[in-house]
């Protein structure tokens, strides 16, 4: 064999080995995303199919031209729910009612998954094993985005199929699914880019979530003020609205939307090439004085771990409910002038929207979801730190490990209640500024009414911490996400009232429009407490997760 032949063979073997390694890593990322992708696809498609089916039985033929014009011209309705387009079509109505919630759901999943697979693996040292061979950091970025792109196609296809099976127009279904695909790809790329910029998973996740919040804010500004309508072209959420599924079916906004993930992917690739493994492009100086505040006790350490995450959740919740409070008067005037919409809302399960207390009760009915997810994510972070061996030095101390878990649980409960209180205060503040007839006690009552369901979610997460530590986030989300979806299903199909007791939302009264259901509140709180005790018992008996 000549020297040239040997070199050619070596190059071919090297190329084949590189391709094999890339394929193996892609499959690895795909396996780690498929479960979450299937759950998100089921939730998004199920919600879309339910609303489209509900339209056929409740709203079809009930909206005339003047009512639709009044709805489209009301700035409060546009800010809260987006521009109402093609409401006389089941697909257009479905996009208007579920578009923003579904987009936020898939965007949050995409960015959290992206930071977990990239920066999370580097923080835990798992990426070191992959990078010790033929792979480079750039290879991991590209393969992660390929896996997330495949998951995005699955989710968007599931939504399109659900809309087609419920009888909506194929063109509108494809435009809506394409917009959803663009949103997922954008925030997946944003999460990967944040993981290249910042040196820790929590910081990268915070940056990506801030980008999502800014995008939502820009969409609200564009929909609320005619002079700022051009701002919609700067945010993925605005561009999906500009595409006008089931109405204009415009392709140009989607072309701009798909430019976002392309630009972010290029930026993430460049950043991956120019940084060291385990570090980001931006790294805090190692010369700063050590920060030892709140490190003198176990409970203080738990508070310190929670502060930054709690501040982020509080900012989003306070901003949203303040906006809702400011818009209460405008929504009430609209419903008083258009009684037909109030009747249709009651038929859809949102009775009492004609009063400030009823509207607040409807909004607070959704508050349990973020509050419950907050508690579940805090316990999931505790479990992730255990799996990443960050707790190992502390657990080697002569301190029972259940004390660390109990401190985390206690702080999470207090923080969850603080978030609920902040939501009530912010909504009341906004209502007061807008002269809406809503008192402080009524606002706080409605906010605190969501506490039992939120704490039930935290209890489920603690139970999973003790008995299924790899499924903490999923099981913790079941009471709020699964319970809410089940509640929507039961209301949409007009199921017997006794079936609503299968979901924790079915036990709550519509406070402050109605007095709280104290017996149900006590039962839910006791159930949450029992789940916490069972979880602590399991946590004390099992081995450390690795």
Per-residue pLDDT for the chain (546 aa), expressed as one digit of tens each? 455 555 554 455 555 556 777 788 889 899 999 988 998 998 889 888 888 877 766 665 555 555 656 666 666 677 767 777 777 788 888 888 888 888 988 998 999 899 989 988 888 777 777 777 677 888 889 999 999 999 999 999 999 999 999 889 999 999 999 999 999 999 999 999 999 998 888 788 888 888 998 898 889 888 877 788 899 999 999 999 999 999 989 999 999 999 999 999 999 999 999 888 778 887 765 566 767 777 778 899 889 889 888 988 898 899 889 988 988 888 888 777 766 666 666 555 555 667 889 888 888 988 999 999 999 989 988 988 887 777 878 777 788 888 899 999 999 999 999 999 999 999 999 999 988 889 999 999 999 999 999 999 999 999 999 999 888 988 998 999 888 878 777 766 666 777 777 889 888 888 898 899 999 999 999 999 999 999 999 998 888 765
What's the CA gap between 218 and 212, in Å, rounded? 10
Please check whether residues 379 and 264 belong to one and the same domain: no
DSSP per-residue codes, 319-366:
HHHHHHHHHHHHHHHHHHH-HHHHHHHHHTT-TTTTSHHHHHHHHHTT
Those residues whose C-beta lies under 8 Å from the C-beta of residue 373, and which sit 6 or more positions away, are 457, 476, 477, 480, 481
Taking the CA atoms of residue 178, residue 179, residue 183 and residue 185 in that order, the dihedral angle to the nearest 10 degrees is 20
- 337 assigned to some structural domain: yes
Model pLDDT, residue 444: 95
Instruction: Record the tokens describing residue 91, joined without a space.
Output: 């697909």
What's the CA gap between 368 and 370, in Å, rounded? 6
Please check whether residues 386 and 274 belong to one and the same domain: no
What's the CA gap between 243 and 93, in Å, rounded? 15
- 28 assigned to some structural domain: yes
What's the CA gap between 453 and 237, in Å, rounded? 29
Domain limit, last residue, from 247, 281, 315 = 281
Domain limit, last residue, from 281, 309, 327 = 281
317 alpha carbon, distance to own chain's centre = 13
Please check whether residues 210 and 328 belong to one and the same domain: no
Instruction: Record the tokens describing residue 158, joined without a space.
Output: 């599931």
What's the CA gap between 408 and 532, in Å, rounded? 12
Please check whether residues 341 and 482 belong to one and the same domain: yes
Q: Which helix (H) or strand (E) holds 216?
A: helix 201-224
Which range marks the domain in which residue 430 is found?
293-546
Buried-state track 39-58, b at ≥16 Cβ within 10 A, e below 16: bbbebbbbbbbbbbbbbeee
Q: Which helix (H) or strand (E) holds 479?
A: none
Please check whether residues 276 and 299 belong to one and the same domain: no
Locus of tokens 């079916």: 249
What's the CA gap between 220 and 242, in Å, rounded? 13
Buried-state track 415-446, b at ≥16 Cβ within 10 A, e below 16: bbbebbebbbbbbbbbbeebebebeeebbbbb
- 299 assigned to some structural domain: yes
- 286 assigned to some structural domain: no
- Angstrom CA distances, 386 to 393, 394, 395, 460, 465, stand at 11, 10, 10, 18, 10
Buried-state track 159-180, b at ≥16 Cβ within 10 A, e below 16: bbbbbbebebbeebbbbbbbbb
What's the CA gap between 495 and 3, in Å, rounded? 78
What's the CA gap between 217 and 223, in Å, rounded? 10
What's the CA gap between 252 and 260, in Å, rounded? 13
Please check whether residues 268 and 337 belong to one and the same domain: no
Number of folded domains that form the chain: 2
- 263 assigned to some structural domain: yes
Please check whether residues 221 and 367 belong to one and the same domain: no
- 2 assigned to some structural domain: no
Model pLDDT, residue 15: 57
Please check whether residues 373 and 485 belong to one and the same domain: yes
Instruction: Record the tokens describing residue 479, joined without a space.
Output: 């009471």
25 alpha carbon, distance to own chain's centre = 27
- 139 assigned to some structural domain: yes
DSSP three-state, residue 36: helix
Please check whether residues 332 and 246 belong to one and the same domain: no
Domain limit, last residue, from 239, 260, 281 = 281
- 25 assigned to some structural domain: yes
Please check whether residues 165 and 192 belong to one and the same domain: yes
Radius of gyration of the chain measured on its C-alpha atoms: 25
State the maximum Cα–Cα separation within the chain, in Å, rounded to a whole number: 91
Please check whether residues 99 and 119 belong to one and the same domain: yes
Please check whether residues 157 and 79 belong to one and the same domain: yes
73 burial level (CB within 10 Å; 0-12, 13-18, 19+): exposed
Instruction: Record the tokens describing residue 95, joined without a space.
Output: 């996009």
Instruction: Record the tokens describing residue 384, joined without a space.
Output: 């992730």
């Amino acid at each position: 064999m000549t020297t040239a032949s040997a070199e050619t063979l070596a190059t071919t073997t090297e190329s084949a080995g590189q391709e094999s390694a890339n394929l193996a890593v892609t499959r690895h990322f795909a396996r780690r995303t498929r479960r979450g992708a299937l759950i998100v696809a089921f939730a998004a498609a199920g919600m879309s199919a339910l609303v489209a089916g509900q339209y056929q039985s409740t709203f079809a033929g009930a909206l005339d031209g003047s009512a639709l014009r009044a709805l489209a011209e009301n700035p409060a309705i546009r800010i809260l729910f987006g521009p109402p387009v093609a409401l006389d079509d089941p697909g257009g109505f479905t996009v208007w009612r579920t578009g923003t919630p579904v987009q936020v759901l898939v965007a949050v999943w995409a960015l959290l998954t992206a930071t977990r697979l990239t920066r999370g693996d580097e923080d835990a040292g798992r990426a070191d094993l992959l990078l010790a061979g033929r792979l480079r950091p750039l290879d991991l970025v590209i393969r992660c985005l390929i896996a997330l792109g495949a998951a995005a196609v699955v989710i968007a296809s599931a939504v399109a199929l659900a809309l087609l099976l419920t009888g909506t127009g194929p063109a509108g279904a494809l435009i809506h699914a394409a917009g959803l695909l663009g949103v997922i790809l954008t925030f997946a790329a944003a999460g990967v880019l944040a993981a290249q910029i910042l040196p820790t998973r929590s910081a990268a996740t915070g940056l990506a979530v801030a980008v999502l919040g800014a995008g939502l804010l820009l969409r609200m500004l564009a929909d609320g003020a005619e002079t700022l309508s051009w701002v919609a072209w700067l945010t993925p959420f605005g561009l999906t609205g500009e595409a006008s599924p089931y109405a204009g079916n415009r392709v140009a906004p989607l072309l701009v939307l798909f430019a976002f993930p392309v630009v972010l992917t290029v930026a993430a690739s460049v950043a991956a090439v120019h940084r060291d493994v385990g570090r980001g492009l931006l790294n805090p100086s190692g010369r700063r004085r050590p920060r030892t505040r709140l490190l003198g006790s176990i409970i203080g350490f738990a508070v310190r771990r929670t502060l930054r995450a709690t501040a982020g959740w509080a900012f989003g919740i306070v901003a949203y409910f303040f906006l809702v409070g400011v818009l209460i008067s405008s929504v009430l005037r609209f419903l008083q002038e258009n009684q037909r919409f109030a009747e249709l809302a009651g038929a859809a399960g949102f009775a009492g929207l004609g009063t400030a207390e009823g509207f607040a009760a409807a909004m607070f009915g959704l508050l349990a979801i973020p509050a419950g997810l907050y508690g579940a994510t805090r316990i999931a972070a505790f479990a992730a730190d255990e799996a990443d061996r960050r707790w190992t030095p502390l657990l080697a101390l002569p301190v029972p490990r259940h004390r660390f878990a109990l401190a985390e649980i206690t702080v999470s409960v207090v923080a969850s209640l603080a978030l609920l209180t902040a939501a009530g205060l912010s909504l009341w503040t906004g209502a007061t500024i807008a002269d809406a007839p809503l008192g402080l006690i009524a606002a706080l009552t409605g906010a605190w009414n969501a506490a039992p369901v939120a704490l039930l979610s935290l209890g489920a997460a603690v139970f999973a911490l003790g008995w299924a530590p790899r499924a903490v986030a999923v099981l913790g989300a079941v009471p709020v996400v699964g319970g809410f979806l089940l509640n929507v299903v039961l209301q949409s199909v007009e199921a017997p009232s006794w079936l609503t007791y299968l979901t924790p939302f079915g036990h709550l009264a519509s406070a402050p429009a109605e007095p709280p259901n104290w017996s149900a509140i006590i039962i839910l709180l006791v159930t949450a407490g029992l789940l916490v005790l069972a979880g602590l018992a399991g946590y004390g008996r099992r081995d450390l997760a690795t």
